[in-house]
A and B are shown apart, each in its own frame.
Chain A
């Protein structure tokens, strides 16, 4: 093949590749269906339509849960999901606004990402799910009523074992525990009450409203811990400290040794 032809072929392949990439990136996440109709349809209709298209394949058409089914649902999902009876608005609001639901496969860990639905859709879905069997409403925490100081001891007692004492996340066998840097006050309160995925839930009898305010205040404050000593380096303790000792001090001082040493010629 002549040089000119080769260049042309290469250019064509590149362009084709770019085109495919553009199409792939532009496509919406597979399986999410939005209900057309905008503001003309009622909230209940919106909720029902969204639920039927996006949730029913795993959670059942009336939210009764699906133990195990052989057919695949919308967007090629594997149908299997817990019952939503009695979860109220609290749980769906939490999962939807943190982008943890809808899930691609049952059993995979729900992770925080951009929400798939807008606020109106979330509200509609939440109230529709709440209609299955009642349940708690979206909580309204008041972190300004709670002191982060008291929140520290509550947080350490109930939460630090999984989330790390400054909310930097961690590990529990079966899941990666998320960092708490991104959740707002409502989401924190919702997570505490519903216990998403493998997290335990903490009812009012255990963590009352006042204590919840303190915990929320602490989590919000822990985003900007008091770094009196200098650069925070992750607030994780000895792991980043060891990295700094070796990579910063180690390199610098070895560098000084190299600078000073080896004066005499061999």
Chain B
């Protein structure tokens, strides 16, 4: 039995380097085995194995929240202002447009949670996931005036990794002043989060 010792091993010899893979130990060993696309002289890391198993380099996951309370118009789909992040592993969530645009194609689990209320009465509060073409709606009828309510909608969706995006909207039907609560009032009041389930 022979033993091969090397810091890098290229798999594939295609003339197009992106058709080849390299498994390697980083320049400063840290207990990980890296996997890269490309030839051994300049691989682009796509993942690694460490003591806990495989870790993808680009695996988008985010949790955003509304930092402040805001007041949407009644009977109007209004984009919830998720202007702060707890984490955003691949920098795919934009806190100025409140939009998640993953750059890795695949299937994602998305949830939006809304803590809201109307000042006088309410019939229904809606929260939706919006992809630019239509609202995927979750809703809950409210029975007690003035009480804050929490509702959530979820979806498993495919994103193409370039142009597909998702946003969260709310809609209040009733009377009085509608309020979307932010973290200034209650921790984790209204949140928007998602994670890659399966890359393609």
A, B bound:
no
